[in-house]
Chains A and B, each alone.
Chain A
Amino acid sequence: DQQVKQNSPSLSVQEGRISILNCDYTNSMFDYFLWYKKYPAEGPTFLISISSIKDKNEDGRFTVFLNKSAKHLSLHIVPSQPGDSAVYFCAASANRDDKIIFGKGTRLHILP
């Protein structure tokens, strides 16, 4: 049962353009959402998060949008840079739970 879904296994974006990574979730108890970035042979690196009381959080080139009614969140990266090429994991947690549930990840390729 996939509680966090990333339906695009990969995405290619031109350098300098906007990258949009999407994520859907099914568990209405989730109240905290995170994006992690992962390079090969490394652990996931925390990127940005958003609480369910907000609908947008911005940190430099990274913005996360949350649409609670649609149970959907997205990560926008603008402008995209070569170093952004990595696997991006959407993740979520519920207030009562002491764990983070990950999606399967989207591999982002930034094209020169």
Chain B
Amino acid sequence: EPEVTQTPSHQVTQMGQEVILRCVPISNHLYFYWYRQILGQKVEFLVSFYNNEISEKSEIFDDQFSVERPDGSNFTLKIRSTKLEDSAMYFCATGYRINTEAFFGQGTRLTVV
């Protein structure tokens, strides 16, 4: 069964460092998303990406965050200068149609120290 793959599974970084989280979407999917879940809290929307551009983003997704699909396959989330409060599980999700179900990867646990 096709699945969304995320790497790394766990990333530990020092505050102020840049991190890049990677996602390989399901091959025929056109809509890409990043969500995060801070420990014990709800899953929060960060950004959606379609046709090589951001289609929607939340208040969380400030100038420290960026997304791209550099080689037409991998979908990446970059955090330029990490803060302690960026520590969370980051989930990539992809979908084949807007306003329908999205399929999630297993997540990357980001720990900022």
Contacts and interface: CB of A to CB of B under 8 A. Distances in A.
A98 B43 contact: no
B55 interface: yes
A31 B99 CA distance: 9
A45 B55 CA distance: 23
Given A98-B56, A99-B56, A105 B99 contact: no
Interface in B44-81: 44-45, 48, 50, 55-56, 58
Interface string B71-113: 0000000000000000000010100001111111111000000
Contact of B103 (A46, A89, A103): A46
Interface string A89-112: 100011101111111110000000
A98 B55 contact: yes
B28 interface: no
Interface in B9-24: none
Contact of B104 (A44, A95, A98): A44
B91 A43 contact: yes
Most chain B CB within 10 A, of A31, A43, A45, A94, is at A43
Contacts of A41: 106-107
A34 B33 CA distance: 16
Given A45-B104, A46-B103, A98 B98 contact: yes
Size bracket, chain B contacts: 20 to 34
A44 B43 contact: yes
Interface string A41-84: 11111100100000000000000000000000000000000000
Given A43-B104, A98-B31, A32 B42 contact: no
Interface of A: 31-32, 34, 36, 41-46, 49, 89, 93-95, 97-105
25 contacts: A32-B99, A32-B100, A36-B104, A43-B4, A43-B6, A43-B104, A43-B105, A44-B91, A46-B104, A49-B100, A49-B101, A89-B42, A93-B99, A95-B99, A97-B56, A98-B31, A98-B50, A98-B55, A98-B99, A99-B45, A100-B33, A101-B45, A102-B42, A102-B45, A105-B42
